């Protein structure tokens, strides 16, 4: 078939968008490139999903009930303050659509989650990327100073993907206090459950005090249902209404809603927290081994991943690991992120790290 010449006029901002580099599959090895859970869904979650298959001829609950009420109870807010969509990325897309017009600015740290520049840019917004500190954490003073009349939102990723750094409670509160009340502060807590107890903070306490703060959560990481695509925002009423106004109707499908609800079951939640503890223990094992091997590393990551700031040797390391059956995520000439995955994958990573030091 000959393809007809396409003359459709696309928005100019599309040509400037970075391409999202999804983690590559690893047919003969381990995929540790997408910060996924190495565990399959808990039995009760599986059962809940299967139980909803027969209802797939119907649209999902438009009000996302009973999931929304269960989440509201858990977070001590009203159900209408919970906004659910196809992953927290989709909710963040709705935040941008609700707030950002052509030329408006969104401030966030860089390097951070790769979806941010795409979401901001595809709505015609301008990304204001504030470089990380020397310790690879958020430079909150510089981020607050980067806010202008055009700023509509600031995004804080805690822990930061890919560097794994975290922000302290006082630091975050001080930052939020500096942001004008008409600018939204989005706190992306995708990796919350992997933070060690002593580094945990209570972002919800800050949310309760500041009407411009909203929190993003996902079921894609410790809950292990990334394939179902479901995440949510905890937002103040006006923000929640705005997000609903711009969101795609019926975005969270019925199997995802059922699976997410099952994750909130007391027993399932306890099982998921055991898994999170296992990932934290594996992360500690990896760090201890790398330090013993002589690696000079940045502060320990608090996510389900480890970050190696390898600079110019980033791509070389990723290729070296891939040849040895480990598919990692390489970021230009900044560094490599390796997900804490199956125990054997983590052991393989330790061996590759050892071998790398000898080449």
Ligand X SMILES: Cc1ncc(COP(=O)(O)O)c(C=O)c1O
When the beta carbons of 128 and 157 are compared against ligand X, the nearer one is 157
When the beta carbons of 231 and 259 are compared against ligand X, the nearer one is 231
Q: Of residues 266-325, which lie at the interface with ligand X (CB under 6 A)?
A: none
Decide: helix, strand or coil at residue 342: coil
Whole-angstrom distance, CA of residue 97 vs CA of residue 74: 27
With binding defined as CB under 6 A, does residue 188 bind ligand X? yes
Shortest Cβ 160–ligand X spacing (Å): 8
For ligand X (CB under 6 A), the number of binding residues is: 13
> In this chain, which residue has its C-beta nearest to ligand X?
87
Shortest Cβ 215–ligand X spacing (Å): 12
Tokens of 338: 């390796």
With binding defined as CB under 6 A, does residue 161 bind ligand X? yes
When the beta carbons of 160 and 254 are compared against ligand X, the nearer one is 160
Contact letters (x/-) for ligand X, 35-54, by CB under 6 A?
A: x-------------------
When the beta carbons of 35 and 37 are compared against ligand X, the nearer one is 35
Decide: helix, strand or coil at residue 177: helix
Tokens of 228: 């179902």
- Per-position b or e across 150-179, b if 16+ CB within 10 A of its CB: ebbbbbbbbbbbbbbbbbeeeebbebbeeb
In this structure, how many other beta carbons lie within 10 angstroms of the beta carbon of residue 333?
Answer: 11
With binding defined as CB under 6 A, does residue 218 bind ligand X? yes
With binding defined as CB under 6 A, does residue 109 bind ligand X? no
DSSP state at residue 13: G
When the beta carbons of 227 and 299 are compared against ligand X, the nearer one is 227
Strands 126-131 and 326-327: unpaired
Shortest Cβ 35–ligand X spacing (Å): 5
When the beta carbons of 218 and 314 are compared against ligand X, the nearer one is 218
With binding defined as CB under 6 A, does residue 137 bind ligand X? no
DSSP labels for 263-306? HTSHHHHHHHHHHHHHHHHHHHHHHHHHHHHT----SPP-SSEE
Tokens of 68: 């929304």
Contact letters (x/-) for ligand X, 67-86, by CB under 6 A?
A: --------------------
Contact letters (x/-) for ligand X, 221-250, by CB under 6 A?
A: -----x----x-------------------
When the beta carbons of 161 and 251 are compared against ligand X, the nearer one is 161
Shortest Cβ 89–ligand X spacing (Å): 3
When the beta carbons of 189 and 356 are compared against ligand X, the nearer one is 189
When the beta carbons of 113 and 175 are compared against ligand X, the nearer one is 113
Whole-angstrom distance, CA of residue 95 vs CA of residue 109: 17
Cis peptide leading into 66, omega within 30 of 0? yes
Whole-angstrom distance, CA of residue 226 vs CA of residue 40: 10
**Residues 225/263, Cβ–Cβ less than 8 Å:** yes
H runs (alpha helix) in the chain: 43-51, 67-75, 88-99, 115-121, 140-145, 169-178, 203-209, 237-246, 254-263, 266-293, 314-323, 343-358
Residue from 30, 108, 113, 356 binding ligand X (CB under 6 A): 113
When the beta carbons of 161 and 254 are compared against ligand X, the nearer one is 161
With binding defined as CB under 6 A, does residue 220 bind ligand X? yes
With binding defined as CB under 6 A, does residue 252 bind ligand X? no
Q: Of residues 138-157, which lie at the interface with ligand X (CB under 6 A)?
A: 157
Shortest Cβ 259–ligand X spacing (Å): 13
Residue 214's alpha-carbon distances to 154, 233, 326, in angstroms, are 11, 7, 36
> Interface residues with ligand X (CB under 6 A)?
35, 87-89, 113, 157, 161, 188, 190, 218, 220, 226, 231
């Amino acid at each position: 078939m000959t393809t007809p010449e396409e003359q459709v006029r696309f928005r100019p901002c599309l040509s400037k968008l970075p391409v999202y580099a999804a983690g590559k599959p690893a047919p003969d090895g381990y995929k540790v490139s997408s910060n996924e859970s190495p565990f399959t869904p808990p039995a009760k979650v599986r059962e809940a999903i299967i139980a909803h298959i027969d209802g797939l001829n119907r649209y999902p609950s438009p009000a996302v009930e009973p999931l929304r009420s269960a989440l509201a109870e858990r977070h001590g807010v009203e159900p209408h303050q919970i906004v659910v969509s196809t992953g927290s990325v989709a909710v963040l897309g709705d935040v941008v659509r609700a707030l950002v017009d052509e030329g408006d600015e969104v401030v966030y740290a860089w390097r951070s989650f790769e979806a941010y520049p795409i979401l901001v840019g595809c709505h015609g917004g301008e990304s204001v990327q504030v470089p990380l500190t020397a310790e690879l954490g958020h430079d909150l003073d510089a981020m607050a100073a980067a806010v202008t009349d055009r700023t509509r939102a600031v995004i804080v990723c805690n822990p930061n993907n890919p560097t794994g750094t975290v922000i302290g409670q006082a630091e975050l509160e001080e930052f939020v206090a500096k942001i004008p009340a008409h600018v939204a502060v989005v706190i992306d807590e995708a990796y919350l459950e992997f933070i060690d107890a002593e580094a945990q903070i209570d972002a919800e306490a800050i949310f309760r005090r500041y009407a411009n703060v909203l929190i993003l959560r996902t079921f894609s990481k410790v809950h292990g249902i990334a394939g179902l695509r479901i995440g949510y925002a905890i937002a103040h009423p006006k923000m929640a209404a705005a997000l609903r106004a711009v969101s795609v109707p019926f975005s969270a499908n019925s199997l995802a809603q059922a699976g997410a609800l099952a994750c909130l079951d007391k027993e399932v939640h306890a099982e998921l927290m055991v898994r999170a503890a296992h990932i934290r223990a594996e992360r500690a094992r990896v760090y201890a081994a790398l330090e013993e091997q002589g690696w000079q590393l940045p502060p320990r990551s608090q996510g389900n991943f480890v970050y190696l700031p390898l600079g110019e040797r980033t791509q070389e390391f990723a290729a070296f690991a891939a040849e040895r059956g480990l598919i990692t995520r390489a970021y230009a000439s900044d560094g490599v992120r390796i997900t804490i995955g199956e125990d054997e994958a983590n052991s393989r990573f330790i061996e590759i790290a050892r071998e790398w030091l000898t080449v």
